[in-house]
Structure 1
Amino acid sequence: MKELQILTLIHTLGAARATDIAKNQKLALSTVTITLNRLEDKGYIKRERSKEDRRVTYIDLTPKGAKLTASHREFFQNITNNLFASVYGTTENKLAGELADLHTSLENMK
């Protein structure tokens, strides 16, 4: 789960430094480094040194990492859409039913 959160964050931030990720996730830099090592071993991220300052390393997604992140986002987007459709569909149906009852009551008053 932590790996997927970090992949999503890298997708959102674009190329990021490990310190940026650690600050954003409120994690120790050592924890982030271990997770980044795992992600790199799995082929989801790549590390590139800055051309201006060789001490700085940027982390970016590989095509494999971008594909995983996109499928993760699509999965949660579908869940969210289904949830809202369920909630709004129920509300609309309930409202339609109540309006029909009101209409029937008003018709009976004539």
Structure 2
Amino acid sequence: MSKTELANQQVNVKQINHDLMEMLANVVWVEEYELKQSPFSALTVKEVHTIYAISMYEEKTASQVAKAVHLSPSAMTTAIDRLVDKGYVERRRSKEDKRVVKLGLTHQGRILYRAHQALHFKVTKALLEDMSNEEALAMERAVHNLQAYLKALIDS
């Protein structure tokens, strides 16, 4: 398709909306399916996202993680207790302030983190696979705009 033909195309907002909704549902399904096929099948997708929010390299407080995964502090405490019992997360006293408890990933938690990250990278690479650099930059802007909009809704 020539640049002129591309310039004359109309954006089909209804189709984009439909595809976005279908894509979101499919991402959830793929995450659940991949999880059930993995050595981590005893976990829920929400638990995996909690582990991912704790992060690989920095310790976070339970309230920081709760905010990231949109859970109340009490629900976060229950979720963390389960992940500690399952061997994916550990509580560590802050070296600077012994009253502060930080969350960190165990060896098993780091393995899961890397596996989940690899799945996300695979999906992202598939999204960008046949795009030109210009198209990929437009996609980057679109994803950034959508994320900013969603974050503003959450924060309001």
Q: Which has the higher helix share?
A: 1
Q: CA RMSD in A?
A: 1.9
Report deviation, 1:4.
Answer: 1.1
Largest Rg, 1 or 2:
1
Q: Deviations over 1:62-101 (max 9, x none)?
A: 111011010111012112212321x428xxxxxxxxxxxx
Q: Partner of 2:131 in structure 1?
A: 88
Please give the TM-score of this superposition, normalised by the length of structure 1.
Answer: 0.70
Deviation at 1:53, TM superposition (A): 2.9
Provide Cα deviations, 1:10-42, integer angstroms capped at 9, x if missing partner.
116710111111223332101111111111111
Question: What is the CA deviation profile of residues 39-70 of structure 1, one whole-angstrom value per residue up to 9, with x for unaligned ones?
Answer: 11111111111234332111001111011010
TM-score, reference length from structure 2: 0.51
Ranges in structure 2 where 5+ consecutive residues have no aligned partner: 1-44, 133-156
Return structure 1 stretches of 4+ with deviation > 4 angstroms.
none
How far apart are the structure 2 equivalents of 1:59 and 1:29? 14
Q: How many residues align?
A: 88
- After TM superposition, the structure 1 stretch with the greater mean CA deviation from structure 2, 21-30 or 65-74, is 21-30
Higher relative contact order (CA 8 A, sep 6+): 1
Written as runs of structure 1 = structure 2, the 5 A alignment for 1:1-110 is 1-11=45-55, 14-85=58-129, 87-88=130-131
Distance 1:2 1:73 in 2: 15
- Cα distance in 2 for partners of 1:17, 1:80 equals 29
SS in structure 2 opposite 1:88? coil
